[in-house]
């Protein structure tokens, strides 16, 4: 269904929901608007679709209660704005409950379960009191000395399911309800060096449609932080996921380097850049260290993909300020590169010769001319995570005369071109085969991957990175590889970015 509006002042569109419904769609505006949100018949906001200025919003909304709802559109003052709301109702399963079975391995849960079985009226109240005192997730030692981490949620009669996003090893997993209680739980045995973030999604809409992507996206409508977690939250409250809760076990890597210190601070400048090769434009941001540092035209240059994320989720300027101040790395500039729009990310950052050529033959020369710099290939570092890590490696191997260092975080080396699936002998390690076929280049490499990055199998990170590292070492490359007790997670990548820079500049 589609609804079109042209507005100059705050406007609403009414929608009557007569049964629990899941709405999936998008909102597109020809100009930026200030906010888009949904209220119920009492005027309470039930869903923010756009909290800050923008012209696009995705709709993932589970209206679990029949009501008379209103969509609110708030344009810029006195600015005629055309708004297009396009949505569809996805059918829900009759039973929304998800109650997987899991063995209880938490010592506290075992004791509580026994007390409940013995009709101890205070058992559950005592449990929640201890959780509130200690914080969630529970961190305990079992009889063999292993660390048991248990995620818990206090449900009620309306709780149909509780999804853990960022679940160690699983990626995402549903919690289990304990009989005769409001306790929902999921336990893992984890390394004491674990460092990761996670979220909960309560009453995730269960769709009849057999579409794994849509079912995954359905959690966006109810994702939240863990109300019982007492560790610092992480992330962007304005993003569709919002903030995340965090876990830092006793032997986790020290993250002091990512926090502001009393050191000299660099500056950020912004530039608009239009590419003639790609036919698009993007915002570029450049970090320059404090002017008191001996920066020269040939000083190192760090180039980061998903630039906005490496300015927010990963506080790269703070990390650079700290590393430069302590002498771990030489003074260097950094450029933060975004794709023109989110839907172009998979196109630009997966192995793409046109984009590699753009970066080497158009963008870097433009940047050097704009800033009056001339870093050598040896001192030009490409860096990114996931697709950004894959892009960093592919572009460096395509243009080693321009990029001589790679800092790759959880690179998506499971990726292969579609043509690979139809090849006579399709390879499970496309980039590995590419490295084997190429002459050896003068490229220094730092890579990391998470011990929890093993699912889903089709997008497995850990073992594909291990295979690539083995191949690179066999070919004679200098590679530093770090395996960390984390998942596909910017919370961990903050720390490993600092580790990677230190490794690449350890002379």
- Fold category of 266-504 in CATH: Rossmann fold (3.40.50)
* Residue intervals in the chain for CATH 2.60.40.10: 107-248
For the chain, percent of residues with pLDDT exceeding 90: 88
* pLDDT score recorded for residue 450: 98
Rounded distance, CA 503 to CA 425, Å? Answer: 37
The kind and range of the H/E element at 435 are helix 430-437
* pLDDT score recorded for residue 501: 98
* Residue intervals in the chain for CATH 2.60.120.380: 2-90
- Across the range 292-321, mean pLDDT stands at 97
Rounded distance, CA 85 to CA 353, Å? Answer: 36
> Please, which residues bridge with residue 285 across strands?
270, 336
Q: What is the CA radius of gyration of the chain?
A: 25
DSSP letters along 278-329, please? Answer: TTEEEEEEEEE--TTS---TTS-EEEEESTTTTTTTS-HHHHHHHHHHTTSS
Identify the band that residue 424 occupies on the pLDDT scale cut at 50, 70 and 90.
low
| Average pLDDT, rounded, for the chain | 94
* pLDDT score recorded for residue 1: 82
261 and 320 Cβ atoms separated by less than 8 Å: no
* pLDDT score recorded for residue 3: 84
Identify the band that residue 423 occupies on the pLDDT scale cut at 50, 70 and 90.
low
Q: State the CATH class of domain 2-90.
A: mainly beta
Residue 210 has pLDDT above 90, yes or no: no
Residue 464 has pLDDT above 90, yes or no: yes
Rounded distance, CA 443 to CA 407, Å? Answer: 11
Give burial (CB, 10 Å; 0-12/13-18/19+) of 113.
buried
- Across the range 388-414, mean pLDDT stands at 98
Residue 249 has pLDDT above 90, yes or no: yes
For the chain, percent of residues with pLDDT exceeding 70: 98
426-445 per-position pLDDT tens digit: 667 999 999 999 999 999 99
Phi first, then psi: what are they for 45, rounded to 5°?
-70, 125
**In angstroms, what CA-CA distances link 479 with 384, 405, 471, 501?**
16, 10, 10, 13
410 and 450 Cβ atoms separated by less than 8 Å: yes
Residue whose structure tokens are 């309306």: 158
pTM: 0.93
- Fold category of 107-248 in CATH: Immunoglobulin-like (2.60.40)
Instruction: Considering only residues 239 and 486, tell me which one the structure prediction assigns the higher pLDDT.
Output: 486
Long-range contacts of 278-286 (CB under 8 A, 24+ apart): 278/354, 278/355, 278/358, 280/340, 280/344, 281/340, 282/337, 282/338, 282/339, 282/340, 283/338, 284/335, 284/336, 284/337, 284/367, 285/311, 285/335, 285/336, 286/333, 286/334, 286/335, 286/336, 286/367, 286/371
- Across the range 389-411, mean pLDDT stands at 98
* pLDDT score recorded for residue 14: 92
* Residue intervals in the chain for CATH 3.40.50.1820: 266-504
Lowest-confidence pick of 1-5, 85-89, 278-282, 408-412? 1-5
* pLDDT score recorded for residue 238: 73
* pLDDT score recorded for residue 420: 67
Residue whose structure tokens are 């705050």: 10
184 and 175 Cβ atoms separated by less than 8 Å: yes
Residue 240 has pLDDT above 80, yes or no: no
* pLDDT score recorded for residue 95: 95
* pLDDT score recorded for residue 53: 84
């Amino acid at each position: 269904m589609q609804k079109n509006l042209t507005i100059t002042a705050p406007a609403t569109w009414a929608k009557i929901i007569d049964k629990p419904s899941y709405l999936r769609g998008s909102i597109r505006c020809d100009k930026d608007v200030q906010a888009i949100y949904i209220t119920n018949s009492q005027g309470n906001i039930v869903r923010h679709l756009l909290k800050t200025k923008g012209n696009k919003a995705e709709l993932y909304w589970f209206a679990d209660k029949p009501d008379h709802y209103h969509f609110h559109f708030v344009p810029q003052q006195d600015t005629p704005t055309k708004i297009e709301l396009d949505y569809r109702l996805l059918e829900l399963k009759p039973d929304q409950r998800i109650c997987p079975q899991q063995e209880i391995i938490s010592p506290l849960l075992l004791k509580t379960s026994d007390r409940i079985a013995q009709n101890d009226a205070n058992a559950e109240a005592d449990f929640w009191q201890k959780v509130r005192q200690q914080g969630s997730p529970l961190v305990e030692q079992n009889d063999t000395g292993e660390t048991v981490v248990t995620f818990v949620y206090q449900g009620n009669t309306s709780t149909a399911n509780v999804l853990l996003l960022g679940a160690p090893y699983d990626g995402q997993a549903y919690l289990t309800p304990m009989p005769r209680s409001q306790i929902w739980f999921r336990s893992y045995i984890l390394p004491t060096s674990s460092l990761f973030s996670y979220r909960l999604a309560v009453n995730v809409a269960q769709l009849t449609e057999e579409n794994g992507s849509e079912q995954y996206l359905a959690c966006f409508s109810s994702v939240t932080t863990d109300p019982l977690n007492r560790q610092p939250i992480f992330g962007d409250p304005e993003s569709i996921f919002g903030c995340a809760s965090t876990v830092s076990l006793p032997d986790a890597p020290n993250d002091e380097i990512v926090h502001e210190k009393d050191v000299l601070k660099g500056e950020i400048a912004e530039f608009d850049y239009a590419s003639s090769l790609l036919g698009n434009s993007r915002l570029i941001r450049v970090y320059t260290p404090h002017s008191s540092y001996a920066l020269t035209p040939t000083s190192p240059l760090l180039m980061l993909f998903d630039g906005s994320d490496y300015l927010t989720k990963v506080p790269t300027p703070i990390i650079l300020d700290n590393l430069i101040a302590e002498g771990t790395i030489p003074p260097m500039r950094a450029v933060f590169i975004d794709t023109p729009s989110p839907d172009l990310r998979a196109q630009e950052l997966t192995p793409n010769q046109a984009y590699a050529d753009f970066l080497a033959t158009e963008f870097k020369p433009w940047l050097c001319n704009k800033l009056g710099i001339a870093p050598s290939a040896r001192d030009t570092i490409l860096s990114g995570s996931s697709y950004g890590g894959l892009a960093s490696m592919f572009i460096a191997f395509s243009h080693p005369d321009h990029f001589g260092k790679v800092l790759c975080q959880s690179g998506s080396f499971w990726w292969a071109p579609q043509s690979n699936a139809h090849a006579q002998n399709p390879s499970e390690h496309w980039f590995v085969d590419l490295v084997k076929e190429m002459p050896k280049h003068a490229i220094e490499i730092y890579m990391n991957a998470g011990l929890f990055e093993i699912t889903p199998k089709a997008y497995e990170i850990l073992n594909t990175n291990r295979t690539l590292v083995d191949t690179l070492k066999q070919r004679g490359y200098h590679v530093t590889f770090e395996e960390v007790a984390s998942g596909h997670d910017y919370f961990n990548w903050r720390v490993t970015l600092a580790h990677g820079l230190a490794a690449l500049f350890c002379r």
